Structure 1
Amino acid sequence: MSEFFQPNAELIQRRWPAVAKRLLTEDPGPLQADLVEGLGSTLSINGIQLTSRHDRTREAQLQAASLPVDSPVLHVYGTGLGDLQLELLQRSELTRLHVHILNGTVFALVLQLLDQQPWLGDSRVELHYAGDLAEICLPFFALPSELVLADDFNAKIRDRLISEIQLTFNNREFDPDDSEIVGRLAASLELVKADLDVAELFATVSGREVFVIATGPSLEQHFERLRAIAEQAPRPLFICVDTAFRPLLEHGIRPNVVVSIDQRITTRHLPPEGSQGISLVYMPMIDPVVLQAWQGSRYVGYSVSPVYERICQQVPKARLHAGGSVIHPAVDLAVKMGASQVTLFGADFAFPANKTHAGWKDGDLGPQLAVAKHWVLDGYGQRVKTQLNFRSYLCELERYLARHPEVHFFNTSRAGAMISGAAFHPEFTQ
C-alpha cells in the first residue's frame, strides 16, 4: 500500500464511511496508468489524461471561471487530481462543495498516488458517488476526462451531464429566425389553420392501455405478436413514430395514430398508401407534401420550442412535450389521451444486435453503425453501442417518466437501453 492511500482513506472513513466502504472494494489493478510529462506532468488512465500535462493549476483556474463566483453551493463531477477542488475552495463565498465520483476505480488509484487530504479535509466538502443521485445538480463543472472514463454505475449521470453541456449546441438547429424554418412554417400555415387541434385527442382513451411503437431493432422481435394483437377487439391503442409506420404496414399492422415532427421526413417514410383511417399527429416543420398526401385525419400541435412561438400566436394549438426525438411527443400524446398504462416497443436508444433500426437498412435513418462510438447499459447490465444524441433522448424520456408516476410505463426488450422508470413487461420481454 502506498504512503498516501492510508491517510487519504482514513480521512474519507471518518467523514464519509459509506463512500470509504465502497472505495475499498475498487480494484485499480486493471487500469493502464502512465505518467505523462510536458511542461508539467499528469496521470494518464487508459490513454486519457486526467488533467493538462503542462499547467494543471491554470487549467483548474479556467474551469473554475466557468462557475458563478457568488454561488454558495457548487458541484464538481469527477475527482481528477484535486486541482479544481482546491481552486474552488479558495472562494470565501463557497459554503458547500459537492464532489461526485464518476469512476470509483480511478479515484482509488489517485488516492494511492497523491495526497488528496487538502481538499478532502475541508469541512465544506461533501463526497458522493454520482450514481447515487437520479439527477444532476446545478451549477456544476464536469471534468472532461472523467466523462470519458465514467464507469457503469455512474453512466446515467454521465449521460445527463453530457446532455446538459451540449444543450446549446444541440439547439442551434432551432433558431426561429432561420430562413429555412421561417419558410417551412409559412408553407405549412394554411394546413395548420385547416387541420384539427391535437387537443381534440386528449382524454379520449382514459384508462386504456396504449402501445407506443418506435423503430429500434428490438421491434423486429414483436411484429408477429403485434399483428395478432392488432386483430383483436378490443385492443390497446397503437401510436407509432413516423419511421415505424412503413415497417408496421409491411408486417400487416395498422396503427391508430402516427406521430411526426422532423422536417426531413418524406413520403418514403410516411407513404400515403394505406394511411386511410389512420390519424397523423404532427408539428408544422413537416413537409407540406407529406401532409397533403396523407389520407387519414390530421392533427397539429406545437412544442414549447421558440420555433413555434409566432405560429402559435397566429393559430393557437395545444402543445406536446419535446425532447429531441419523436418518441417524446408520442409518449406525451399517450399520456394526454388518458393512458393508464404505456407499453414501449422498439424504444432502444441503442444498436442491439449490431443493427440501427427495425425495417430500415444501416444508415437509412441517420449515422451508420460503424460510427457508433458511445455506449449505454442494456437491460442485462451490459454495454451496448449507441450514438451521443440517443443518450440525450433517453435522458429526456426518463425525466418525463419520472414526472408522471400516475402512469405505468413498460419496456418490452432488454436488448436496448435500460430505461429508468419503465419496468420490463412480463409478457413481452424476453
Structure 2
Amino acid sequence: MKIAILKERRTQETRVAASPESVKKLIGLGIQVAVEKGAGNGAAFVDAAYKEAGAEIAGDAAAALKDAKLVLKVRGPEAKDAADLPKGSLLAAILDPYRSLEEMKALAEAGVTAFAMDFMPRITRAQSMDVLSSQANLAGYKAVVDAAAEFGRAFPLMMTAAGKVAPAQVLVMGAGVAGLQAIATAKRLGALVSATDVRPAAKEQVESLGGKFVAVEDEEFKQAESAGGYAKEMSDAYKKKQAELIAETIKKMDVVITTALIPGRAAPRLVTTEMVKSMKPGSVVVDLAIDNGGNVEASEAGKVAVKHGVKIIAYHNLPGRLASDTSMLYANNLFNFVALLYDKEKKDLAIDWDDEIVKGTLIAKDGKVVHPALENLEPARKPAAKKAAAPKAAAKKTAAKKTDPDKTEPEKTSAKTAPDSDKQPDTDKTAETGKTGEEQKNGD
C-alpha cells in the first residue's frame, strides 16, 4: 500500500503531514511512502531526511499521488483541486468542514473518502490522534512568546540595585488547551496571571497552574457545564454581569490573550474597542481566534495593529509559526490514525466503519457528504431560494401597510425583537470538534 505526503498549497501554511520519524514508522508497518519534493521545507524537514527515512521523493504532486491509496495533508485541498486526488483514495487532513462545505462536496464528487482530523472524538482511545489539542497546545505557548516580544517591558518581578521592575499582569480568556498552556507559559515567564472561562471546572484547572480565576460565580455559573463537559450558553443577564467584570479586569491588564472558538460559527467577540481603549498604553492583546473571525473587535487579520496605544497581535495560523514542532506532533497524530485503519498482517487497509473514531471523522464516502453534523448546515449552500422569496414577502408587507397603516409600528417592534443570527454568545469557551447543537467544546 502506498501513502502520499503532499506539499501544502494554502497561503501561509508552513506545516507538513509527515516528519522523517513518522515516515520511518509508516515504512515499519510495511507501507510505501512517497513525499512530494520540498513538502517539508517550511518545517525544516529536508528531502534528504525523508529519503534517509526510506521515503520516495516524488518530483511533483502527480508523481506522489500515482497509485496512492491514502493521502495525508495538513489542510484539505480547495474545491478546484479535489479532482486531482485519485478516485477511490482516502484523504486524512484538517478539513474545517463547517466552513468548507463546498470543498467537502467536491471531495465527495471526486470519489474521495475523506476523514477530518479536526472532528476527532474526545475519547480516551483517540487522545493520541487529537490534532486540535496537539496544535492548540503550541499555539497557546506561542501566543505568550509573541506577546512578550511585543511588550515593551519585562514579564517577571525583578529586584535590582537601580529599582524594582513590577511583574506583568496577564489575562487569558478561555481555559481550554491553548488557554491552559498560555497560563502555564506566562507563569513560567514570571507574570501574574488571571484567566476566565464559562465552565466551573475550569476554575480548578486555572488555579492548579497558579492563575487567578475571574468569573461571576452565581448559581447560573455553577450549572453552566453539561454532563459531557461542554459549556452551555449563558443567559443575557449573566453575559452582561460577566462582561462588566471582564471590562473592569482588562483595565488593569498588561497582556490579554483570547482563545475562544465555537464550532460552525464565527468566533465570539470578547474584547470590544472600548475595552482596548481602557487598557494602559503599551499593553498587548493576542487574538488566537483570528482565523475564525477573531475575538477582538479591533483585530486586523495577519498583522500587529496599534490601536489606542495598544498592540493587537492577530497572526494567521499560529501553530504554523512553530512548524517543526507542530508538524512533528501532527505527523504522530496521523500515524496513530493510519495504524487504526491498517492491517499489518494483510499489509492493506482494513477499516472498521462502525468504529467510533472512524464514524466521528468520516466526512465523505461513496460520492456523498455523510457526516450527520453537516446535515443541518446544508441549506446554507442554497441562499438563492431565500432571495427568490424575498420580493413576495416585501410585496405582502407593502400591501399590509397600504390597507392598514396601524400595523406599521407592530412590525417595527417585531423586527427589533427578532433573533440576530450574527450575534455570537459572549463566552470565553474554546470549541474545537465536530459537534453541532448548542453546547461548546471543552478545549481550544
TM-score if structure 1 supplies the norm length?
0.27
Report which structure shows greater RCO (CA 8 Å, sep ≥6): 2
TM-score if structure 2 supplies the norm length?
0.27
